[in-house]
Homo-oligomer: A and B are copies of this chain.
Amino acid sequence: MSEQETSSPVNAAERFDADLPGSVERELVRFLHEAAGQIRMAEPGFVSGVDALTDFVLGGGKRLRPTFAWWAWRGTGGDPAEAEGVLRAVASLELVQACALIHDDLIDSSDSRRGRPTVHRAFARQHDENGWLGTPEMFGLAAAVLIGDLALAWADDMFNTAALPPERLAAARPAWRAMRTEVLAGQFLDVRTQATGDSSPEAALRVSRLKTAAYTVQRPLHLGAALAGADSGQTGALREFGDDIGVAFQLRDDLLGVFGDPSVTGKPAGDDLREGKRTLLVALGLAQAGPHQAEIIANAIGNPGLSEAEVDKVRTTLTEVGAVAAVERRIDELTTTALAALRAAHLAEPAATRLAELAVRATQRTS
């Protein structure tokens, strides 16, 4: 292959197609290296914070949001000459996600993430091991708040410095803005629903729509389509697809949170119950249960000391009352309507096939 062929825009886009997670990670490494390098020189005392963010971002994740955004851009006729800039713009979604996870783990008092200690726990441990002043908990809290903030600020920096014509970024900005506000609204609503004890399926669905359907799938698709300059018909169909697949994705997550294998999901089984998460699975369980069964479920939610045997009892109960079957049925229905919307979007190949595969994989996964 000649030098010229290797570096042609179409080839660049196809190279990214072939290994999207790897390409996204290279883009993240490049940005983090540059951003961290600047502040590292200015302020060596901040290195441990910057390193914690870098490790977190590069330490795992399925790169799902950049992947949805990328295929939406490819499928709606994005200009291959802009592939490098688009890759950077969509990779920045991983920094928004880093903020969301680091702050969520702090809010939920979670101990581990991807099989490693959460950021607030890691810094609390550092404090404890060094016998520093104050309490390990408050030091961990401070570090997690500030490192999450850094991720959010850097997400904007990465997105806004993508090498794209200003009108492209301007067209994508409504999706970018909505996405960040919606994920915060979803998290706020999640916390509030847990506090007020609202156990209705409606409340569970609202949280799912904001935290997962909008933030994880629909807005990334919207962003990709906007970066390509897609028309409103294609964009609308893609967003419809995203809304359905996003809710299905969250429902699968709800099932995994109670039934998932810890060695595959990377988090302790039943933690969703201990944290008091008001999922649609739990809401349907409560709505369909008899008095004794409802008591088993209700007593488990938000009980931090829940034993493995008690988690098992909740599993049996949710299955007996038909909540598990109902959620599985809903996932099937949503996947069907989602795939119909995807066909109506008339995307170019291979994007159409890839998004259909993603949809199926995201709703049938085991981790």
What is the interface of chain A, defined by CB distance below 8 A to chain B? 35, 38-39, 42-43, 45-46, 48-49, 99, 103, 106-107, 109, 127, 130, 132-134, 138-139, 141-143, 145-150, 152-154, 156-157, 160-161, 166, 170, 173, 177-178, 180-182, 184-189, 191-197, 206, 210, 276, 302
Contacts and interface: CB of A to CB of B under 8 A. Distances in A.
Nearest to A133: B197
Nearest to A134: B195
A149 B184 contact: yes
A187 B146 contact: yes
Nearest to A189: B45
Contacts of A148: 145, 149
The prevalent SS among residues of A at the interface is helix
Contacts of A210: 43
Contact of A133 (B156, B166, B177, B196): B196
**Residue with the greatest number of chain B CB neighbours at <10 A, chosen from A143, A156, A170, A193:** A156
Given A148-B149, A149-B148, A185 B132 contact: no
Contacts of A147: 188
Give the copy number.
Answer: 2
Nearest to A109: B138
Contacts of A142: 107, 187-188, 191
Contacts of A109: 138
B195 A133 contact: yes
Contact of A191 (B146, B192, B206, B302): B146
6 contacts: A39-B185, A42-B182, A139-B195, A143-B191, A146-B191, A150-B184
Contact of A43 (B39, B42, B185): B185
Q: Which of A127, A191, A276 gathers most chain B CB within 10 Å?
A: A191
Contacts of A161: 173
A63 to B, nearest CB: 21
A163 to B, nearest CB: 11
Given A134-B302, A180-B153, A302-B133, A127 B195 contact: yes
Contacts of A138: 107, 109
Contacts of A43: 182, 185-186, 189, 206, 210
B149 A107 contact: no
The 4 lowest CB-CB distance pairs between A and B, nearest first, are A166-B166, A46-B185, A132-B195, A156-B156
A58 B150 CA distance: 25
